[in-house]
Structure 1
Amino acid sequence: MSTKETPAANGFPYTLSRTLDVPAASVWQAWSTAEQYAQWANAVAGSVEMDVRPGGSWKATMVAPDGGKFPLTGSYLEVAENRRLVIGMDVPGKAEPTVMAMELDEQDDHHTQIVLSQMCDTAEERDMAKLGSTMLLDGLSAFLAEQAGD
């Protein structure tokens, strides 16, 4: 018996979800406003730029848990305010951007389920992307809880 993972048809996917105790509009604003995004996503202050529209670009310099800084760039592939954001991330050495989808499902006026999903080329890439997305969700959850408490 092999312990090697078998990729899905197009690679190695992951999906993460979390229910947040805020309306979808609050989640959307935190994810699509440069000032707010920088506060919760471990980005270097002043490094985040966002043109949130289909074809618009974004960039940010992120801070890793070990303190290392790395620049990210990409574009917005799909934008449906308060519902869905599909982001392309430029990866050195890859011809096509890596695509991550963020979907919001407002369950009532005070609860929103957020789902992040991504297809990766390898299990290792998936595991690293999943870890990064988990860190994003942790930061977003803490930020929104703090905002709701104000």
Structure 2
Amino acid sequence: MSTEQTTAADGFSYTLTRALASPAAKVWQAWTTPEQYARWANADAGSVEMDVRPGGAWKATMVTPDGGRFPLTGSYLEVAENRRLVVGMDVPGKPEPLAMTMELAEQDGHHTQIVLHQTCDTAEERDMAEQGSTMLLDGLSAFLTDEASN
């Protein structure tokens, strides 16, 4: 996995890139199907709801390794099936959702490069968001590997 952090005039950004041994359609399905997402993203089973279309809402209750539970909500800002998903996350005290972009580039029908990018207001927010996104990519990669071996 490659990681890049930048500090732009308008915020603090990170970009994570990872190669996955799955076609883009399988990666997309894992990211946009509530049952699959709950399995790899450390969400409470039954807490994930997704209306995957521009303006559609999503929600999930994430479970931390120590058992803490964090309800999250947001909306889909941009949807290009099997290619690009821009997810807005509601953040208390902020007027606009925090957007994260996921881009998929299929390599040869069997491998996909996934890129996650996000710009935050502070270095601390960026570091926390990057840590969360790294955990998501780790879970997604393990899930897709398990699915391929079944």
TM bracket (short chain): over 0.9
- Give the greater-gyration-radius structure (CA): 1
C-alpha separation in 1, matches of 2:6 and 2:20: 32
Query: Taking structure 1 as reference, are residues 18 and 95 closer, same or farther at Cα in structure 2, changes over 3 Å only?
Result: same
> Which amino acid is the alignment partner of residue 49 of structure 1?
E
Q: Which amino acid aligns with 1:119?
A: T
**Structure 1 unpaired stretches of 5+:** none
Provide Cα deviations, 1:69-107, integer angstroms capped at 9, x if missing partner: 000000000000000000000000101100000000001
Residue 10 of structure 1 deviates from its aligned partner by: 1.2
Q: Which secondary structure state, in structure 1, belongs to the residue aligned with residue 7 of structure 2? A: coil
What RMSD, in angstroms, separates the aligned Cα atoms of the two structures?
1.2
Q: Distance in 2 between matches of 1:71 and 1:40?
A: 16
| Separation in structure 1 between the aligned mates of residue 145 and residue 116 of structure 2, nearest angstrom | 19
Pairing of 1:5-84 with structure 2 (within 5 A): 7-84=7-84
Note the alpha carbon deviations across 1:113-141, whole angstroms, 9 max, x for none: 00000000000000000000000000000
Structure 1 residue 87 and structure 2 residue 87: aligned?
A: yes
Q: Which residue of 1 aligns with 2:148?
A: 148
> Hey, which bits of structure 1, 4+ residues long, moved more than 4 A?
none
- The number of residues matched between the two structures is 146
Instruction: Kindly state the Cα deviation for residue 65 of structure 1 after the two structures are TM-superposed.
Output: 2.1
TM normalised by structure 2 equals 0.95
Structure 2 unaligned residues grouped into runs of 5+: none
Structure 1 residue 43: deviation in Å?
0.1
Q: Which residue identity lines up with residue 38 of structure 2 in the other structure?
A: A
Aligned partner of 1:99 in structure 2 is 99
Contact 2:17 / 2:116 at 8 angstroms: preserved in 1? Answer: yes
Aligned mates of 2:41, 2:140 — CA distance in 1: 7
Q: Percent identity?
A: 78
**1:53/1:6 CA distance change after superposition, 3 Å:** closer
Instruction: Measure how far apart 1:9 and its partner are.
Output: 1.8
Shift of 1:7: 3.2
In the alignment, residue 115 of structure 2 is paired with which amino acid? V
